[in-house]
Structure 1
Amino acid sequence: MGRLEGKVCLVTGAARGIGAAIARAFLAEGALVWLTDVRDDEGHTLAAALGARARYERLDVREEADWTSIVAGLLAAHSRLDVLVNNAGITGFEESSAPQDPCHVALADWQRVHRTTLDGVFLGCREALRAMRPAGHGSIINIGSRSGVVGIPGAAAYASAKGAVRNHTRSVALWAAEQGTAIRCNVIQPAAVLTPMWEPMLGDGPDREARMAAFVADTPLRRFGQAEEVAALAVLLASDEATYITGAEFNVDGGLLAGAAAVPSREDA
């Protein structure tokens, strides 16, 4: 028996990166997983490769009607939702090289980032609470970011949105508990996890390796994290092993938020 045997799960932004890794990990533990995204070709291809317990459906997390439709379809097919992972999000650099700092970020870019990265999480949490309430239990896992814990001068919209995700997680957890349910809500906050989201910043030129080294230079473990390392924590939070964990935040960042680590000396190596 897997740790998520028989659980019905929905993962947003699941066509690639952390979302895809979480979907794989959930399936390996026995779950039935609806993968959702707006990257339809990648999503269908991945779901087909993952087998019969994986299903891909298009979901634009910005759209209230999409959420209503996808949850209604899932409930019609399976009668319940056990786990929601709100993973979909954008940094603001995917479609634009325009400045994202507090002084120069365009209002349209600010709103675009918030619609996906924050509004999508709000809508997901709301629909999951409504779907889970009849059973009285479930797990909502929001994917935040180290950028929601500290200021990021060059990515003001993203940092603002992820900061709000962090606090909304607490509000959802407290409300669910006040209602007398066992619906839990927690947030995972990755940093320097190597996914396609990093490609606009790393590029593919001859200085790619130097850029990678610079990005992780202040990370105590001195490396990028892997999506599978985030997925492992998501499995725990989705499972019945975590039934006393709610309103909590978990950093998956190689020790970055803990502070600086001294570089080992040659004698210590």
Structure 2
Amino acid sequence: MIAQTTKALISAAALAAGLTALPAKAQESAATTAFEDAIGAPQPFLNYPKPWPLKHLIKDGVLTVGTTGASPPRTFVDPVSGELSGSYVELFGKLAEDLGLEVEFVQLEWAGILPGLAAGRFDIACDGASWNAERLGSDQFLMTSPTGLNATVGITLKSSGISTFDQGGFTLGGVRGEIYFEGAKTKLPEAESIEFPGLQESLLGLQNGQAQVIVMNLSNALSTLESAPNKDDLVMIGPALEVFAQSLCVNPNEPDLLVAVNTLLGNYRADGTLAELVGKHATSTAEVDLLNRIGY
């Protein structure tokens, strides 16, 4: 390994010596290749405090997490064990472990998550909160670097005959306070809308005719089409109304936790941990794999 690294560094120096004879873009390309060869494959950053000295946790030695437990495959209650499960439940547990903390979950509806952070009920939350200007600039919570990409789509019954959002004439349903539901109402102002407290309630509303289309993010839609009891009766519609980055949310009084979590999330992207956790509970890791499309 040392010999390979030394050889790469020598090659980089040789390339650098001849860069002046190359056009600017060619110089940049050669320098980038040489730099990549010298450094090697993506690798985590390990020179961080262990344990991390976090000063403003809700409880000493504990990472208190707010979660809905109602957004599969990221967070849900296992029907067999009755325990919280999902890719983000495991992600929160991994963060706590690497910070030298115990993890404690507080389960509540999505509408209470962001206000709960502002009120200091927990240290970290969100099963993937979508980015927008208002949230990124909020003083009520802090947003981490992205954990995934997502999109706003719809689920309807095959028997409805609805195949695109453009058809119109249907009642739009979604979860109270979720950004993709609110965004859909803005983009489809002519549609009548009805809100539900959670994903399962919205799907029940679809089944009993309260709404003809249920708006949700793409991750939840794919999970629904794979695991819902009536999955054979359902179909996804589009095209996607919005595409957005999503992340975790941190208590606004804990900027030191934000730095720590961002460091670890960078590691999890580099070493494949984030994709592995998502892949355990989803049919695809595309939401993580495509983060490089927005610079992560």
Tell me, yes or no, whether TM beats 0.5: no
Question: What TM-score does the superposition give when structure 1 sets the normalisation length?
Answer: 0.31
Question: What TM-score does the superposition give when structure 2 sets the normalisation length?
Answer: 0.29
- Where relative contact order (Cα < 8 A, 6+ residues apart) is larger, the structure is 2
Structure ID, larger Rg? 2
Bigger strand share: 2
